Structures are given as C-alpha cells and as structure tokens.
A and B are shown apart, each in its own frame.
Chain A
Amino acid sequence: MRRSLHVIREMIRKEFYQLRHDPRMLGVSIVAPVLQVLLLGYAATTDITNSTMVVCDLDHTEESRELIRDFTNSGYFVARYTVDDPAGVDQHIERARANIGLVIARGYGRDLLARRPAEIQVILDGADANTANVLLGYATQIVSTRSQKILAQYASVIHGVRYGQIVPEPRVWFNPDLKSANYMVPGVVGLVLMIITMTLTSLGIVKEKEIGTLEQLMVTPIRPHELILGKLVPFIMIGFVDMTIVLGLARFWFGVPLVGSVALLFGLSALFILTTLGLGLFISTIAKSQQQAMLIAQFFFFMPFMFFSGFVVPIANMPRAIQYVSYIIPLRYFLEIVRGIFLKGTNLLTLWPQALALTAFGATILTLSILRFRKTLE
C-alpha cells in the first residue's frame, strides 16, 4: 500500500514535470477555458435585439405614422431604412440588410376612419428562422394591440357598447430581464469543463501511446492501477482548477445570480468531471492516433453532447425519439443541475435524480474505461 502511494506520487510528479516542460499545454489547459467561457458567454445569446426594420409608408397619414411609432417605440425594432417603393423593401430584405419590412398601403388611414378593414404587410426573412419567428411574434403583438385599441374605441365611444379589454400582465420568474446569458452561461460552464477535461485526457494518453513512452512505462514495475491513477490524478487536479475558474467567471464576470448552494455546485461538478475524465480515458483506449482521438471526441461526444443536452435548444422542442437519446447524455443532467442551482436555488431534494444519474454514469464509464485501459496495458 505504502509502495503504491509512493509510485503514484512519483507518476504524478512525472506528469506535472512533463506539463511544465510543455508550457503551452499548461497554458492551453488554464487559458483555454477562460477564453472559451468569455467567448461563449458573450456569443451564445438567443436574445433577438437590434433588429433592423425597413419601412415603406405609402399612406402618409396620421394613422400610418402612429402605427410606425408603435413599432419603433416597442424597443424591438430600429427603423433604419425608409423607402418609397415596396420593391425597395424587397431589396433590403434580400440583401439581408433588414430583418423585417413594414409596408403600409395607400388608403390605410382612410379605411380605418371609414371602419373598413385596413391592410398592412409585414415581410420577414425566413432564412433565419428563429429570428423571423420571434420578430413575427412581436409584430403580431404590436398590430393586435393597435387593433384592439381602435376596436374598443369604436365600440364604446361611437356605439355605446361597454366591454372591458383583457390586458395580459406578464411576470417572469428566476430571470426577470429574460437575459439569455443567465441561461446560457451556466450551460457554457458544463460544456467547457467537458471539452477541456475530456480532450486533454484523451490526447494526453494517446500521445504517449503514439510516441511509445506508454510501452516504456509498462515495462517498468509500475502496476496498471498505479499507472492509471498516476495518469488520471493530474487531470483531475487540472479539472478542479478549471472548474473553479469557470464557475468564478460565471458568477463574478457575467454576474449570473447564484441562488443555490456553492458547496452542492462544486460537489456535483466534481461528479461530472469524473464522468468526462472517464470518457477521455475511454476515447484513449479506442483511438490509435491523436487525430483519431480528436475526431472521436468531436463527432461522438462533443457535437452530440452540445446539441442533445439542451445546451442550445431545449430538449422539450425535440422529437420524442431524440428526447429519449438525450437521457444517455451526461451533460444533460449536469446542465439541469447547474442551471437549477444558479438560477432557481434548487437543492438536492429536487436534484437527486440528476445527481444519481451522474453518479451512475461516472461509475460505469470510469470502470469500463479503466478495465479497457488495463487490457491495453497487459
């Protein structure tokens, strides 16, 4: 036992010596997560703001100007272009200079005053489907608010019918400003932790295989479990450092409110890191070269994890079959945990199924890959 501990300690020392020898590697494992969190934290936003609008007012009446003001005062649209010809609207949309076009036909004001249905047209660039969908929603809201006002006016003032309007009163919990950063940044924490720990582990081990130094280690009296522990412990330590850095950035740089328990957050993150390290080790047992390891990590793990974990798109939006697939993705559970603890302050009473799933994954993957790795060693 004493001997084992000693061997493992020496192995760890060797690994760190190697890391020091290749300062770029150390830089990559510390600087990279910081840059990734910053970049992702700022870039991964699903907010639709600063949408540009092109307006074509053929009517030029008080009524048409009022409607245009409804659009610009809503805060959703910036009327950047004004044209006199509907073809001009088409052109701006085609060249992707504007996200939305508003055309008010001649006679709009006259029709309204005469209580005939007046027509307006809204043109959207569907090539960007999500933005178009959100903007369509805003536009519909603005127009129906105006419609309702006009209607209520007719009914009450002109015809003496009294019927109250129903005013929707929104209340948003947990993230009152609807800042997508509050949702995305905790997700970024999970994603970055996974990228760094998984790729570093797999590439680090495959590199030794490729250069042949793993063979050299195997002919030494070091026993397989000592070798595995000696190789994994440094990555676990780097993982913990990275974890502290990225969680700190999320809380203090991006100001994501951390409502729940910090200890729970760290504990469950550690559980997640065990899973990703296991995956890294697993990849290293399949891959023959670093290039292969990279491809396997990218295609089989990174991409599906990113898409099916609910990082970009909520799992509830996916087809049923793919929702089932998401159950075998550990990142899914971790995202639920981080988002829950950060925004809602959820505790273990609510999160135990996720924690249990992560534990099961971590234990299975680590055992499996350690067994596989032992085989390659023997």
Chain B
Amino acid sequence: MSIIRSLHPIIVKEFRQIRRDPTSLGMLLVLPAILIIVVGYALNFDVKHIPLLIFDQSMTPESRALLDQFRHTEYFDLVADVRSYKEIENRILNGDAKAAVVVPPEFARDILAGRNTSVQILVDGSDANSAGQALNYATRMTMAYSTAAIAQAFQFKGGSLSVPIRFEPRIWYNPDLRSSEFLIPGLIGFIIVLTSVVSTSMTVVREKERGTMEQIMVSPLRPVQVIIGKTIPYVGITLLASTIIILLGYFVFGIPIHGSILLLYAALLIVTLGGLGQGVLISTVTDSQQVAFMISVFSSLLPSMLLSGFVFPIASMPIVLQILSNLAVNKFFLVAVRGLMLKGAGFMDLWPQFLYLSLFAAVMLGVSTVRMRKRSV
C-alpha cells in the first residue's frame, strides 16, 4: 500500500506532463487509428487489373476464343492490341503495360492438327511479386481454356468428358484472402512497440537531458519506484491505443476476435511491459534522445516491422535472418494475436508464445531495474 502511495506523486507528475503536451498524446492515440484505416485499405497484395497487351498473330476463331479469356477477366485490363514485338517492348519499358500475350501465327493450324502449340506470356519482372502473380493467372487461364477446348472438341464428336480432377481448395480463417485480416493484427504489435519502447526511452532520456532526472533521483523514492511511476501512464496509453485498433478492426474491417479477449489483453499487457522494460534499458545506455531514438528504431521498430512476419514471410528469408527473427519479440506476439483473433486458438495452442513473451518481459524489466539501481549508487 505504501508503495502505491509513494508512487502516486510521480504518476500524477507524469500524467500532468503528458497532458501538457497534448500533441504527443494525440499522436499516440489518434494516429494509430488513422494508420489502421489507411493500411487496412491501402495494403493489398492481390494483384488485379494488370495492364495487358495482346499480340494475335494467328487471327483465327481459335486464337480469338483464347484471347477472349484475357479480355474478360478482372485480373487483366487490356491496354491495346499491338502489331509488333517492338511495340510490346516500348510499352513495357515505359510502364504502359506490365504483361503481354503473344499468339504465334501457326496457333490454330497446330492445335487443329493435334499438335501442341505454345502461347507466349511476357511479363515485366521488376516487381517480382506482381509479375509472379500475373504469370500465375495467365498460365491458369490458358490451361483452363486448353482443357475446356479439348473436352469440347471431344463432345463435338459425340462423346462426353469432364475435367478429371476436381480440385477443391479450402481456405481457413480468412476465406476471401483479405490482406487486411493479415496485416491489422500485425499493426497492433507495431504500434505497441512504437508507444512502449520508443516513447519510454525518449521520455526518460528527456529528463536526463534536461537535468530533471537528477532532481527526481534525490527525492526519497527508489529508482525502481521512479521507473514504475514513470512507465505506468504509458501502459495505460498503450492499452488504450491497442483497444482503439481492435475496435476499429472489428467495426470497420470486420476483423473477428474468435479467441478469448482476456487472453488477447494478457498478451498485450505482457508485451507492453516488456517493451517498457526495453525502453528503460535503452535510456540507461545513452543521454541523448537522438541516440535513444536510433537505438529504439534498430532494436525494436525495424525488427518488429521486418523480422516479425508482419509484412514479409519469415520462411523466405536467408537462414541467418530466420534465426535472428527469434529475437524479434513481435514474431511471437504476432502468432499469438493472429491465433487469438483469426483462428480462435486457446492457451493450449499458444503457451509457447506466452512463455516466450513472459520471458522477454521478465528479462527486460529485470535487467533494466538492475542497471537503474547501479547508476543511482
């Protein structure tokens, strides 16, 4: 009880300081909200409406039937029918088009004679992800058409044939494959890191820069109490910011919470505490906000953006980074949050993640307390 009473003034002081700087508070609360809406709408990996060129050298009913597939699909938007390779080259080079289909002159003759024929699919490979998807769509459409054409030719002769393998994909958790369902849980982790690690390290270092830390240190409070008092308001802000995101995610983007809300908040709290510990730890290393900021960016912001699986798949990274990614606390947090929100996973599924998160928080809080104590002696 007495601990709480002795913490009280410093918490009040910190809150007062935050209130006096409404710009920063506003940014910590309002911007995550703006960000989530914008990210939810803007980040879309599904490539559609790829600008396409068509070069039909065959000009037969057969080639037109195939190319009709390309004209009537949301995956491709026809830019122009061209007459030469040179034109394709120019238009792809200056970015007018990203893909082209070229039907060879002997197309119809070959297939009617029962010979296999090929259709060229040209893509601008500079954006590897989009190019890969464009190739994928084009290949699928060509093959589907070819299969249908063979079956039709057969029916024409009085037989009947159906597609031999019926392929039935089942997509779990996110059947429409919406990027927002994948990204928004990740955004929560990112914003927690931003508010906990970055803001904490900077507020503590700011007091050091201005010399007010010395003033607090000569008060009868123990350093640990000072730190707890200083960070409690940030726990509040972080949880509030996360709640805003979760609510917006739910109401605006329809991102479900299938699992336990209690567990979700437990994960949020643990990560926040760990982040605060990390922020305090950073503040013990340096006396300049500029350096504190850079260290925070490197030790938490970038890893949680890049190595956590937030945007980029970890399995595709070089092995060294895959190993390093285990240091990014957000990697585990993300598995937990996606599990809890999208998959309805329970504690039994996620206990390894919770264990790791707790370890991280314990280590960060422990080490930062020890360092704080040492400095004050």
A9 CB–B CB distance under 8 Å: no
Instruction: Decide: A128 near B313, CB < 8 A? Known: A25-B291, A172-B135, A295-B28.
Output: yes
| Surface stretch bound by B, among A39-47, A213-221, A274-282, A359-367 | A39-47
Q: Which residues of A9-44 have CB atoms within 8 Å of chain B's CB atoms? A: 22, 24-25, 28, 32, 35-36, 39-40, 42-44
Q: Are A156 and B114 in contact (CB under 8 A)?
A: yes
Task: Check B181–A127 contact: CB distance below 8 A.
Answer: yes
For A122, list chain B residues within 8 Å (CB).
Answer: 167-170
Q: Is B269 an interface residue (CB 8 A)?
A: no
Query: Smallest Cβ distance from A28 to chain B, in angstroms?
Result: 5
Q: How far is the CA of A8 from the CA of B153 in the complex (A)?
A: 82
Q: Are B128 and A46 in contact (CB under 8 A)?
A: yes
Q: A169 vs B100: C-alpha distance in the bound complex, in angstroms?
A: 12
Chain B residues contacting A267 (CB-CB under 8 Å) are none
Kindly state whether residue A327 has any CB partner on chain B within 8 Å: no
Q: Which residues of A contact B225 (CB under 8 A)?
A: none
Q: In the complex where A129-B178, A140-B140, A164-B110 touch, is A124 in contact with B169 (Cβ < 8 A)?
A: yes
B290 within 8 A of A: yes
User: Interface-forming stretch among B6-14, B155-163, B270-278, B363-371?
Assistant: B155-163
> Which among B116-124, B215-223, B226-234, B245-253 touches the partner chain?
B116-124
Nearest CB on A from B150, distance (A): 5
**Contact across chains for A303 and B167 when beta carbons are under 8 A apart:** no
Query: Which of B114, B115, B165, B298 contacts A117, CB < 8 Å?
Result: B165
Say whether A129 contacts B317, CB under 8 Å: no
| Distance, CA A25 to CA B287, complexed state (A) | 12
Q: Quick check: A155 and B153 within 8 Å, CB to CB?
A: yes
User: Is B42 located at the chain interface by the 8 A CB criterion?
Assistant: yes
Inter-chain CA distance A154–B164, complex, in Å, is 10
Residues of chain A within 8 A of B209, CB atoms compared: 210-211
A131-B121 CB under 8 A given contacts A292-B21, A317-B48: no
- Within 8 Å CB of A119, what residues of B? 165-166, 168
Contact yes or no, B122 A171, CB < 8 A: yes
Please tell me if A178 contacts chain B, counting CB pairs below 8 Å. yes
In the complex, chain A residues 121-135 whose Cβ is within 8 Å of any chain B Cβ: 121-134
- In whole Å, how far is A173's beta carbon from the nearest beta carbon of chain B? 6
Q: Does A106 contact B (CB under 8 A)?
A: no
Provide the A277-313 mask, 1 if CB < 8 A to any CB of B, else 0: 0000000000011111011101110011001100011
In the assembled complex, A318 has its CB within 8 A of some CB on chain B: yes
Report whether A128 and B182 are in contact in the complex, using a CB–CB cutoff of 8 Å. Answer: yes
Q: Tell me the complex Cα distance, A295–B191, Å.
A: 12
- Once the chains bind, are B47 and A317 in contact (CB under 8 Å)? yes
Shortest A74–chain B CB gap in Å is 12
Q: How far is the CB of B195 from chain A (nearest CB, A)?
A: 10
A294 to B24, CA, bound (A): 10
Min CB distance, A93 to chain B, in Å? 6
Asked whether, in the complex, the Cβ of B338 is within 8 Å of the Cβ of A174, the reply is no
Residue of B nearest to A123 (CB): B170
For the A-B complex with A128-B313, A167-B119, A169-B118 known, give 20 more contacts whose Cβ atoms are closer than 8 Å: A28-B294, A43-B307, A43-B317, A123-B171, A126-B175, A129-B45, A137-B140, A141-B140, A159-B154, A163-B150, A178-B125, A200-B290, A292-B24, A298-B194, A304-B38, A307-B43, A308-B42, A313-B43, A317-B45, A322-B42
30 pairs from A and B in contact (CB 8 Å cutoff): A32-B298, A43-B317, A44-B311, A45-B313, A46-B129, A48-B316, A93-B172, A96-B335, A117-B163, A117-B165, A120-B168, A122-B169, A124-B169, A128-B309, A129-B179, A139-B167, A143-B165, A144-B147, A147-B167, A161-B159, A164-B115, A168-B142, A183-B126, A207-B289, A289-B21, A292-B23, A294-B202, A298-B198, A300-B31, A312-B43
Which are the 8 A-B pairs with shortest beta-carbon distances?
A162-B114, A126-B174, A164-B111, A175-B125, A137-B136, A172-B125, A46-B129, A180-B128
Using a CB–CB distance below 8 Å, which chain A residues touch chain B? 22, 24-25, 28, 32, 35-36, 39-40, 42-52, 67, 93-96, 99, 112, 115, 117-134, 136-141, 143-148, 150-152, 154-156, 159, 161-176, 178-180, 182-183, 199-200, 203-204, 207, 210-211, 288-292, 294-296, 298-300, 303-304, 307-308, 312-314, 316-319, 322, 336, 339, 343-344, 346, 350
